[in-house]
């Protein structure tokens, strides 16, 4: 036994033992353990394998800076759980990741035999012949950490908004100080900490604060304006002071696994502490070698002594605290400090408390494979010795955790000589750093710095943060007079000095990158993958910069730093999505008749802009095609009814309404009489069709404009921009009224007979209600507004009624229509009918390239208006490019031969450039054969010609005809 | 996620608005421009890296289109340097 | 150029890889070059390589503000494809794919080109019609884009969840077997090494601050943070910042720069073999060789050079991800970033001379990783000969002055 649980100490609950399994071993921990601390307590040192070379690995850090992942088989199967932050659960079963059969006996470790062939970027230099695809599966299989289980745990998550005057990141000494003064000033405060409770370093370093942290936390807890989040990590600092926070197992919601907060903060105090960094040395990745702060944290948080014969290897004062704590807990401790004179009388004091000091010494290499057994030591006088040990606790200095400040892009990081690391500046008034996050390490000073930061934060809000009574703390050993040592150079080539454990990157890799010319820090990192592993460079980043400086002879601060991006810690996708689901984000729009359609067996699908509309209403035994044909025939021969509710509808009102329509439509609208409508094509100013529709003049200064269903939002934005930006002096307003009205469109030769049977209280004769006319009145008691428009090539009456009368109107129509064999009609039949009639459709013929002339609508273009949107561009383009694709009808030689919509037309059907395409193809009920529409280069001048659609390897000959197959003179429509 | 100040509604989250892009000048009279000028006015954008004026439509509230000045690198929104009001359209 | 091979790797292993030489030189900046290319990203370096290789023009400096390949080349999601609608776009990108297929061997640098197919999930009838049209157009020119059934979708993407509860259940798929991914950095590095070997100079950390012009207004060189450099021609390859740089020469362009974000999960064992693209909901996901799931969606809806994370867009993409792949809910996002991409007015690329003599642009790539080889090939042709390459005749700026747009629907970015 070397690592062991102590009888006392730590925050674990020894009265609640938890049995668990790891890699097939039955083990036991306590409530309050993490998976990592429990494994340590059981003296399981080898807990994983490295990413690339499968070297044995143990815990190196005690928090997010560690990289050991495990898979949890039960309960709630999930992979890539960071062991140092995953709470131990009763009867849980864990396995190491990317090992077989387990971490101890891992077969993948053979990779180490070939490690010489696997330097940084080895794959760029080989595996080219015959091709990478041959080798890739093996590399892919070897890479990756855990396997995603099936079925996998799906955490229950929510996302939530929050806001506060002051958000404090971290509940260590600085954060508590900041939060308390801010809260006492009356500001609303959120205090976010990723631990189970407050204290931060006060707890993990076992600093006696006389209960100050707990008292402060308790006081904050009682204040109504304060919200405390534990087990919560701020992971992103976004624009306009929006911060995202992942909260695990929220205290207030036992049924919730994860909560993702989006918090808008007035001010932010970043008191996120600091990360200790290593001094990499040869084989310094062996299990049993860890950061001094990790050994200290396991001791004070979990009551686990990580080793009995400890070497503490340091270049700064902070490790003395670790050395003394380990000694006090019963370990034999040797402190190897690279500084020849690490502070006067310290040696005697250390000796008095059980720590042997080796001043000016250096650890050169670790000995032992699956666990450190000894280190090779160089004394100050140069003597080498082998020193047995089972724990090496390393401290190479501390890196302030200013990641969040860096994410804002406002903070600049600068080199700090005494601390031998980068520190960041405050932000431009929105945030400040406090305590260790800005390089102030002594706990008492951290509290004072936090209070100052809190006071400064509330001052910007016009409040005064009171001074608080801070205790005197005994915290003499913090990182100061750091003697930078970025790595201990290996004594023999081939000895591996790991600088980034999670990416398996060695100093030799960095040297290789530099040698090959990848000499800017970003290139070094990308070439070697340093900082790209699961810890995202939290422990190794500054060392990488330091080593690059050392190898290139540059000052460290000139090598540069790197920008930190979100997330600060990895965040579950389920938490980010929260309750957001596509179905909730983009709910379907239903007309008031949806239930009616469904009761009729309608097959519904999207008609644009998320509107659900009937595609067809199949009878028993009928497929979609047959149903659509039957419905279309009913319209041609009798009468059909369809639900036109989703069509975009806008009321345009004001003295300048006519001018607006004249500006946005290609035709003349100013002259339209009250009570009449006009079909119009709307173009964007670049001369391409945006939408088509009909506008009716309800009164002198009031119009109702219809857009196609899918273009309604675009049309709305377009009109608003014209009114508010381009013609702000015009007196006109627009009001979307799409959902105010429900619709029943009667179409077919019997439509007027049916309407008559509905007993209108208004004149429906051809003279009184002609094509493009309108009427208002009642059908029985139901108020209606009737428009004569057609998209089917038949006489058509659009009955519009306030949405609340929708079902009543339809029931009435169906009852009165029974003698006429009225048939409900869906979009599919509509498509057949409009193709037969040669009407254009957005998304088919209007494909973003056509102009009105191309589609045979040249006659609609106003001859008198000097200007309308799109005119100038259209005319310019037509002048430069006369060889336009024009709308034509197409008849396959074989009348039963369908052509897929979208099929290209090419000269002779050859596999060459396109001269057009088939935009729509249906089986016509009027002609009892297949017909098609298409856009064809110079199409109108090619009537009668045979052209060819190329459908993969088939050539389909098509005869070019006029693009109207039914009611060419529009007599039926106008009847 | 931006916070945008609407002169009618106060400071509101970005989700209430639709961004209409760079604040291009009001549509010129095509007859007053050469073809090349017209084409440039249609398609070309200053696309400034830094502070620029842009339009937002407060579609899920008051419905007004406003002009704001935003830095396209930092996303900071600042008062209009030319002193125009958010609802004014500068020719 | 030092040859890369398994043998050379093994030989160097004996000396602990001390014998490798620089992949490219770091020469002093000279006063004049035949051609100055601004921007040492994929396109700039590829252009330099092709200038030297096909046209014998090696007196070329590639000038880079930051580090080589550090712009959008470092920030994209390394997808290569040729599924387009217009003839010119299909041919152009088909050539790009074919050049990519040979690139590792041609440049003697393994770019980890992995032709693993892209599958577009079709979740609406409108998209089915669009993509079928694209598929039939592509069949004229070579690259395959084949309709597959939902059963086939499930077989090829077994990680997908039970789809009964999703808002838009897939109706079908389109499989594009030529689609591939490659290690994006390696593409820049391989071109840099090959161009350098042919005499091209690469100057990093050199910012262009202005242009030199003669009395007639012709561009005769650039002012840089390291001094003045004269040049016969100056070719911009500054994706994301082209408007900014061109403005220094008084040039206005039909471009808007927007942020396109992406993110990766922690690495997991192989679980997705193809590139999954869902244009209806704005999501794509693939798995890198390292095991990370690489995920992205559409561009942010505002002009931006921030290269960051737009929270609303990001959350939409993640919501789509976990709806189609509920197994990924407990996986974690590890890294997130954004690139500043340029959209031309018609969303097609621009490889063109400009109204300013001596200044050329290659821009509008809205994600130009897929086009790096052919973009360089055709840009080099234009620079060297003064006439557009036959593959890129449609990509001139004159199409905007004539308002003859080349409208091309892309994937999710253009949703």
Residue C294's CATH number: 3.30.9.10
Contact between residue A163 and residue C286 where contact means Cβ atoms under 8 Å apart? no
For residue A185, give the H/E element and its range. none
Q: What is the pLDDT of residue A580?
A: 83
Contact between residue C311 and residue C336 where contact means Cβ atoms under 8 Å apart? no
C268 inside domain:
yes
Find which of A663, A725, A727, A878 to mutate to test the B interface (most B CBs within 10 Å of its CB).
Answer: A725
Contact between residue A470 and residue A459 where contact means Cβ atoms under 8 Å apart? no
Enumerate chain B positions whose Cβ falls within 8 A of a Cβ in C: 1-2, 14-15, 18-19, 21-22, 35-36, 39-40, 42-49, 52, 54, 72-75
Find which of B35, B61, B68, B71 to mutate to test the A interface (most A CBs within 10 Å of its CB).
Answer: B35
Minimal-distance CA residue of chain C relative to A585: C316
Find which of C299, C305, C309, C352 to mutate to test the B interface (most B CBs within 10 Å of its CB).
Answer: C305
pLDDT-based confidence at C411, cuts 50/70/90? very low
C298 inside domain:
yes
C281 inside domain:
yes
Considering only CB atoms, which chain B residues are within 8 Å of C354? Answer: none
Strand duo A431-433 + A258-270: pairing: parallel
Q: E-strand spans in C237-349?
A: 255-265, 275-278, 283-287, 293-296, 332-344
C128 inside domain:
yes
C267 inside domain:
yes
Minimal-distance CA residue of chain C relative to B50: C305
Q: Do C253 and B73 touch (CB under 8 A)?
A: no
Considering only CB atoms, which chain A residues are within 8 Å of C66? Answer: 520, 522
Q: How many domains does chain C have?
A: 1
Write out the DSSP string of A189-211. Answer: EEEE-SSSSS-THHHHTT---TT
Residues 6 or more apart from A553 whose CB is under 8 A from it?
none
Minimal Cβ distance to C289: which of A140, A149, A880 = A140
pLDDT tens, residue by residue, C367-376: 899 999 999 9
Find which of C322, C339, C408 to mutate to test the A interface (most A CBs within 10 Å of its CB).
Answer: C322
Longest dimension (CA), chain A: 116
Contact between residue A666 and residue A861 where contact means Cβ atoms under 8 Å apart? yes
Cα separation, C24 vs A518, in Å, equals 9
Q: Do C402 and A571 touch (CB under 8 A)?
A: no
Minimal-distance CA residue of chain A relative to C184: A526
Distance from CA of B49 to the nearest CA of C (A): 6
Question: 10 Å Cβ neighbour count for A240?
Answer: 17
ipTM computed for the complex = 0.97
Q: Do B72 and C247 touch (CB under 8 A)?
A: no
For residue A288, give the H/E element and its range. none
Mean predicted lDDT score pLDDT of chain A: 95
Instruction: Kindly provide the b/e burial profile for residues A345-372, where b requires at least 16 CB atoms within 10 angstroms of the residue's own CB.
Output: ebbeebeeeebebbbbbbbbbbbbeebb
Q: At A788, phi and psi to the nearest 5?
A: -100, 95
Residues 863-892 of A with CB under 8 A from C: 873, 876-877, 880-881
The DSSP symbol for A241 reads G
Minimal Cβ distance to B65: which of A242, A720, A876 = A720
Write out the DSSP string of A65-86. Answer: T---EEEEEESS-EEEEETTTS
Q: Decide if C3 touches A, using CB distance below 8 A.
A: no
Q: Give CA A892 to chain center in angstroms.
A: 48
Q: Decide if A238 touches C, using CB distance below 8 A.
A: yes
Minimal Cβ distance to B47: which of C243, C310, C401 = C243
Minimal Cβ distance to A132: which of C110, C281, C314 = C110
Mean pLDDT by 10 residues, chain A (975 residues): 89 97 98 97 96 95 95 96 96 96 93 92 92 90 94 95 98 98 98 94 93 96 97 96 97 96 98 97 97 97 97 95 96 95 77 93 96 96 96 97 93 90 86 96 96 97 93 88 94 94 94 95 94 88 94 88 87 94 85 97 92 96 97 98 97 97 96 96 93 96 96 95 95 96 97 97 96 97 97 96 97 98 97 97 86 96 95 94 94 97 96 96 97 98 98 97 96 94
Give first-to-last CA distance, chain A, whole Å.
Answer: 100
Domain over B1-24+38-91 is classified CATH 3.30.2270.10: yes
Cα separation, C211 vs C36, in Å, equals 11
Q: How far is CA A671 from CA A700, A721, A864, C48, in A?
A: 11, 24, 12, 62
The answer on pLDDT for C410 being more than 50 is no
Q: Do A876 and B29 touch (CB under 8 A)?
A: no
C331 inside domain:
yes
Domain of C269?
115-180+256-344
For residue A157, give the H/E element and its range. strand A157-169
Q: Decide if A491 touches C, using CB distance below 8 A.
A: no
The answer on pLDDT for B91 being more than 70 is no
Q: In the β-sheet with A384-388, what is the strand arrangement from edge to edge?
A: A362-367, A374-378, A384-388
Alpha-carbon dihedral of residues A387, A391, A397, A402, nearest 10 degrees? 160
* DSSP SS3 for A419: coil
User: Which residues partner with A948 through β-bridges?
Assistant: A906, A957
Cα separation, A205 vs A62, in Å, equals 12
Find which of A131, A148, A914 to mutate to test the C interface (most C CBs within 10 Å of its CB).
Answer: A148
The DSSP symbol for A16 reads E
CA atoms within 13 A on the CB side of A111: 21
Cα separation, A199 vs A207, in Å, equals 10
* DSSP SS3 for A734: strand
The DSSP symbol for A722 reads I
Cα separation, A902 vs A936, in Å, equals 12
The answer on pLDDT for C315 being more than 80 is yes
Q: Decide if A680 touches C, using CB distance below 8 A.
A: no
Using CB atoms, which chains have 3+ pairs under 8 A with C?
Answer: A, B
- The candidate with the shortest Cα–Cα distance to A609, out of A486, A493, A739, is A739
Where does A638-748 have alpha helices with state H? 657-664, 712-721
Q: How far is CA C354 from CA A25, A75, A367, in A?
A: 71, 64, 66
Q: What is the pLDDT of residue A485?
A: 95
Q: What is the pLDDT of residue C414?
A: 31
Minimal-distance CA residue of chain A relative to B63: A720
C77 inside domain:
no
Contact between residue A694 and residue A678 where contact means Cβ atoms under 8 Å apart? yes
Which class for A218: exposed (0-12), middle (13-18), buried (19 or more C-beta within 10 A)?
exposed
The DSSP symbol for C402 reads T
Q: Do A583 and C166 touch (CB under 8 A)?
A: yes
Contact between residue C40 and residue C64 where contact means Cβ atoms under 8 Å apart? yes
User: Which residues partner with A505 through β-bridges?
Assistant: A500
Q: Do A721 and B20 touch (CB under 8 A)?
A: yes
Strand duo A946-951 + B51-57: pairing: unpaired
Residues 6 or more apart from A402 whose CB is under 8 A from it?
A270, A272, A411, A413, A422, A423, A424, A433, A437, A438, A564
Residues 6 or more apart from C323 whose CB is under 8 A from it?
A577, A581, A582, A583, C166, C167, C281
Contact between residue A610 and residue A588 where contact means Cβ atoms under 8 Å apart? yes
pLDDT-based confidence at C415, cuts 50/70/90? very low
Minimal Cβ distance to C8: which of A125, A129, A950 = A125
Q: At C376, phi and psi to the nearest 5?
A: -65, -45
Residues 6 or more apart from A6 whose CB is under 8 A from it?
A299, A303, A304, A305, A329, A330
The answer on pLDDT for C413 being more than 70 is no
pLDDT tens, residue by residue, C44-88: 999 999 999 999 999 999 999 999 999 999 999 999 999 999 999
pLDDT tens, residue by residue, C338-350: 999 999 999 999 9
Considering only CB atoms, which chain A residues are within 8 Å of B56? Answer: none
C323 inside domain:
yes
Where does A565-687 have alpha helices with state H? 573-577, 582-585, 594-599, 624-637, 657-664
Residues 936-975 of A with CB under 8 A from C: 950-952
Cα separation, A420 vs A438, in Å, equals 13
Using CB atoms, which chains have 3+ pairs under 8 A with B?
Answer: A, C
Q: Do C23 and A518 touch (CB under 8 A)?
A: yes
- The candidate with the shortest Cα–Cα distance to C285, out of C308, C264, C314, C316, is C264
Q: Considering only residues A786 and C406, tell me which one the structure prediction assigns the higher pLDDT.
A: A786
Contact between residue A375 and residue A311 where contact means Cβ atoms under 8 Å apart? yes
Considering only CB atoms, which chain C residues are within 8 Å of A494? Answer: 16
Alpha-carbon dihedral of residues A489, A490, A491, A495, nearest 10 degrees? -170
Q: Decide if C403 touches A, using CB distance below 8 A.
A: yes
User: Which residues partner with C219 through β-bridges?
Assistant: C213
Cα separation, B59 vs C63, in Å, equals 45
Q: What pTM was estimated for this model as a whole? A: 0.96
């Amino acid at each position: 036994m070397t690592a062991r649980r102590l009888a006392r100490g730590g925050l674990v609950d020894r009265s609640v033992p938890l049995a668990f399994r790891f890699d097939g071993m039955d083990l036991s921990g306590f409530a309050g353990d993490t998976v990592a601390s429990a494994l340590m307590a059981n003296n399981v040192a080898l807990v994983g394998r490295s990413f690339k070379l499968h070297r044995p690995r143990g815990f190196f850090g005690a928090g997010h800076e560690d990289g050991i992942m495990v898979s949890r088989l039960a309960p709630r199967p999930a992979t890539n759980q960071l062991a140092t932050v995953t709470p131990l659960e009763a009867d849980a079963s864990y396995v190491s990741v990317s090992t077989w059969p387990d971490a101890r006996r891992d077969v993948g470790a053979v990779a180490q035999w070939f490690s010489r062939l696997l330097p940084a970027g080895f794959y760029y230099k080989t595996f080219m012949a015959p091709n990478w695809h041959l080798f890739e599966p093996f590399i892919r299989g070897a890479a990756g950490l855990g396997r995603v289980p099936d079925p996998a745990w799906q955490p229950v998550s929510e996302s939530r908004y929050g806001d506060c005057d002051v958000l404090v990141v971290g509940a260590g000494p600085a954060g508590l100080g900041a939060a308390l003064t801010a809260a006492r000033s009356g500001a609303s405060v959120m205090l976010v900490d990723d631990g189970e409770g407050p204290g931060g370093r006060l707890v993990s370093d076992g600093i006696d604060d006389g209960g100050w942290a707990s008292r402060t936390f308790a006081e904050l807890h009682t204040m109504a304006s304060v919200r405390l989040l534990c087990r919560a990590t701020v992971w992103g600092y976004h624009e306009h002071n929006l911060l995202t926070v992942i909260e695990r197992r929220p205290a207030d919601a036992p049924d919730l696994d994860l909560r993702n907060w989006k918090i808008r903060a007035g001010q932010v105090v970043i008191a996120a502490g600091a990360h200790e960094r290593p001094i990499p040395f040869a084989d310094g990745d062996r299990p049993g070698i860890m950061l001094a702060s990790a050994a200290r944290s396991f001791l004070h948080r979990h009551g686990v002594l990580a080793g009995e014969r400890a070497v503490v290897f340091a270049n700064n004062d902070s490790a003395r605290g670790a050395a003394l704590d380990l000694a006090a807990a019963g370990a034999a401790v040797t402190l190897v400090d690279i500084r020849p004179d690490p502070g006067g009388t310290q040696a005697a004091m250390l000796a008095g408390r059980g720590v042997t000091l080796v001043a000016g010494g250096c650890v050169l290499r670790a000995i032992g494979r699956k666990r450190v057994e000894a280190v090779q030591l160089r004394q100050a006088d140069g003597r080498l010795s082998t020193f047995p040990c089972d724990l090496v606790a390393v401290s190479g200095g501390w890196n302030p955790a200013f990641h969040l400040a860096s994410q804002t892009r406002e903070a600049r990081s600068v080199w700090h000589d005494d601390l031998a690391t980068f520190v960041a500046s405050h932000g431009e008034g929105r945030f400040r750093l406090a305590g260790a996050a800005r390089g102030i390490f002594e706990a008492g000073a951290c509290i004072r710095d936090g209070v100052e930061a809190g006071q400064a934060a509330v001052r910007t809000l016009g409040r005064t943060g009171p001074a608080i009574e801070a205790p005197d703390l005994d915290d003499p050993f913090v990182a100061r007079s750091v003697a930078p040592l970025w790595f201990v150079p290996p004594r023999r080539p081939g000895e591996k000095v790991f600088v980034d454990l999670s990416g398996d990157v060695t100093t030799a890799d960095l040297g290789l990158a530099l040698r090959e010319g990848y000499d800017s820090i970003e290139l070094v990192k990308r070439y070697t993958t340093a900082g790209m592993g699961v810890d995202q460079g939290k422990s190794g980043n500054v060392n990488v910069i330091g080593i690059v400086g050392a190898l290139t002879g540059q000052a460290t601060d000139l090598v540069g730093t790197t920008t930190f991006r979100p997330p600060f810690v990895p965040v579950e996708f389920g938490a980010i999505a929260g309750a957001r689901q596509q179905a909730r984000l983009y709910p379907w729009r239903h007309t008031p008749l949806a239930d009616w359609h469904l009761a009729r067996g309608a097959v519904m699908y999207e008609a644009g802009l998320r509107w659900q509309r009937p595609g067809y209403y199949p009878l028993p035994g009928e497929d979609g095609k047959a149903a659509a044909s039957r419905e279309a025939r009913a319209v041609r021969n009798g009468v059909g009814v369809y639900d036109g509710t989703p069509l975009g509808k806008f009321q345009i009102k004001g003295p300048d309404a006519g001018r607006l329509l004249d500006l946005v439509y290609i035709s003349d609208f100013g002259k339209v009489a009250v009570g009449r409508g006009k079909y119009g094509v709307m173009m964007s100013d670049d001369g391409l069709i945006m939408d088509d529709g009909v506008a009716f003049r309800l009164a002198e200064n009031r119009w109702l404009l219809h857009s196609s269903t899918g273009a309604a939002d675009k049309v709305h934005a377009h009109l608003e921009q014209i009114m508010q930006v381009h013609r702000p002096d015009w007196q006109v307003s627009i009001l979307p009224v799409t959902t105010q009205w429900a619709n029943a469109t009667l179409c077919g030769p019997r439509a007027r007979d049916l309407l008559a049977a509905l007993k209108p209280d208004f004149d429906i004769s051809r003279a009184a209600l002609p094509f493009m006319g309108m009427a208002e009145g009642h059908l029985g008691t139901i108020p209606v507004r009737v428009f004569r428009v057609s998209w089917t090539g038949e006489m058509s009456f659009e009955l519009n009624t306030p949405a609340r009368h929708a079902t009543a109107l339809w029931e009435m129509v169906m009852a009165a229509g029974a003698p006429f064999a009225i048939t409900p009609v869906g979009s599919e039949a509509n498509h057949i009918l409009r193709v037969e009639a040669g009407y254009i459709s957005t998304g088919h013929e209007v494909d973003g390239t056509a102009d009105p002339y191309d589609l045979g609508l040249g006659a609609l273009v106003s001859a008198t208006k000097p200007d309308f949107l799109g005119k100038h561009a259209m005319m310019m383009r037509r002048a430069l490019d006369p060889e336009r694709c024009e709308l034509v009808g197409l008849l396959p030689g074989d009348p039963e031969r369908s052509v897929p919509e979208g099929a290209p037309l090419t000269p002779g059907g050859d596999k060459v450039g396109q001269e057009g395409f088939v935009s729509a193809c249906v089986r016509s009920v009027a002609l009892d054969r297949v017909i098609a529409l298409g856009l064809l280069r110079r199409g109108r001048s090619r009537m009668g010609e045979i052209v060819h659609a190329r459908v993969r390897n088939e050539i389909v000959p098509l005869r070019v005809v006029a693009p109207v197959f039914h009611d060419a003179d529009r007599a039926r429509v106008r009847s | 996620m931006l916070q945008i100040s609407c002169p009618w509604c106060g400071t509101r989250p970005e989700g209430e608005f639709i961004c209409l892009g760079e604040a291009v000048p009001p549509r010129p009279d095509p007859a007053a421009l050469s073809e090349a000028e017209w084409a440039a006015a249609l398609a070309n954008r200053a696309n400034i890296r830094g502070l620029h004026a842009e339009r937002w439509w407060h579609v899920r509230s008051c419905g007004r289109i406003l002009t704001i000045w935003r830095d396209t690198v930092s996303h900071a929104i600042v008062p209009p340097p030319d002193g125009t009001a958010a609802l004014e359209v500068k020719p | 150029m030092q040859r890369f091979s398994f043998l050379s790797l093994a030989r160097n292993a004996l000396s602990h890889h001390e014998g490798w030489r620089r992949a490219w030189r770091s020469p002093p900046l000279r006063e004049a070059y035949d051609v100055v290319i601004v921007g040492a990203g994929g396109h700039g370096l590829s252009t330099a390589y092709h200038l030297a290789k096909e046209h014998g023009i090696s007196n070329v400096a590639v000038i880079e503000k930051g580090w080589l390949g550090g712009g959008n080349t470092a920030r994209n999601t390394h997808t290569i494809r040729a599924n387009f609608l217009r003839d010119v776009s299909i041919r152009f990108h088909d050539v790009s794919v074919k050049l990519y297929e040979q690139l590792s061997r041609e440049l003697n640098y393994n770019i980890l080109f992995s032709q693993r197919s892209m599958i577009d999930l079709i979740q609406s009838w409108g998209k089915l019609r669009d993509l079928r049209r694209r598929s039939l157009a592509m069949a004229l020119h070579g690259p395959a884009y084949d309709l597959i059934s939902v059963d086939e979708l499930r077989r090829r993407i077994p990680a997908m969840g039970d789809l009964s509860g999703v808002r838009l259940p897939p109706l079908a798929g389109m499989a594009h077997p030529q689609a591939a991914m490659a290690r994006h950095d390696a593409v820049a590095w391989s071109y840099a090494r090959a161009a350098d070997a042919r005499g091209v100079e690469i100057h990093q950390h050199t910012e262009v601050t202005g242009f030199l012009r003669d009395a007639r207004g012709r561009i005769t060189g650039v002012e840089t943070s390291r001094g003045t450099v004269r040049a016969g021609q100056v070719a911009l390859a500054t994706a994301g910042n082209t408007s900014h740089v061109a403005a220094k020469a008084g040039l206005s362009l039909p471009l808007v720069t927007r942020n396109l974000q992406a993110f990766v999960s922690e690495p997991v064992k192989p679980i997705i073999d193809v590139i999954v693209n869902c244009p209806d909901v704005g999501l794509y996901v693939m798995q890198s060789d390292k095991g990370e799931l690489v995920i992205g969606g559409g561009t942010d809806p505002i002009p931006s050079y921030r290269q960051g994370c737009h929270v609303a867009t990001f959350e939409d993409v993640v919501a789509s991800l976990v709806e189609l792949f509920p197994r990924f809910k407990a996986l974690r996002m590890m890294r997130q970033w954004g690139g500043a991409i340029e959209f031309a007015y018609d969303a097609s690329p621009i490889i063109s001379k400009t109204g300013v003599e001596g200044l050329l642009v290659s821009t509008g790539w809205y994600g130009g990783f897929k086009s790096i080889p052919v973009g360089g090939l055709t840009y080099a042709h234009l620079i060297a000969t003064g006439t557009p390459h036959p593959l890129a005749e449609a990509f001139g700026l004159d199409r905007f002055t004539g308002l003859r747009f080349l409208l091309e629907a892309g994937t999710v970015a253009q949703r």
